[in-house]
Amino acid sequence: MALGRVLVVGLDPVRIPGWDPEPVVAAITRGQARFDDHGIEADLCLVAPDENAEAAIVEALTRKDYACVVVGGGIRKHEPLVEFFEKVVNLVRQHAPGAAIAFNSSPEDTADAALRWLR
């Protein structure tokens, strides 16, 4: 049974200055592997908020038909990004109106967040 395609929108840890991105990159890789374990096709859209992120997100949202869009914690949990978070949610509503919107608590439980809405 196909569960539908998922888009994961998050901050690109490699493009965030001032910290070591490797632990987050590794966690994202582990999280993406969990989609494979469940037989779910999942695409990543990793952005930096100050580098034309909205256009990149719109392009990703309109590239394929998504059953669910997971918005990562890096976008949601960092208070200075609350306005960006609002924009992301509204871009999903506008450009993928049939997709459920889910939120993960870490890069490794992203598949679980999507599965709450795909079943």
Share of the chain above pLDDT 70, in %: 98
- Going by pLDDT thresholds of 50, 70 and 90, the confidence category of residue 68 is very high
Q: What share of the chain is helix, strand, coil (3-state, %, to 5)?
A: 55, 15, 30
Has residue 14 got a pLDDT over 90? yes
Residue 19 has a pLDDT of 83
- Going by pLDDT thresholds of 50, 70 and 90, the confidence category of residue 51 is confident
Evaluate whether 19 touches 74 at the Cβ level (below 8 Å).
Answer: no
In the predicted model, what is the mean pLDDT of the chain? 94
- Tens digits of per-residue pLDDT, 88-110? 999 999 999 999 999 999 999 99
Evaluate whether 47 touches 12 at the Cβ level (below 8 Å).
Answer: yes
Distance CA(77)–CA(82), nearest Å, equals 8
Residue 11 has a pLDDT of 95
- Going by pLDDT thresholds of 50, 70 and 90, the confidence category of residue 61 is very high
Mean pLDDT of 59-85: 95
Residue 2 has a pLDDT of 64
pTM equals 0.94
Residue 88 has a pLDDT of 97
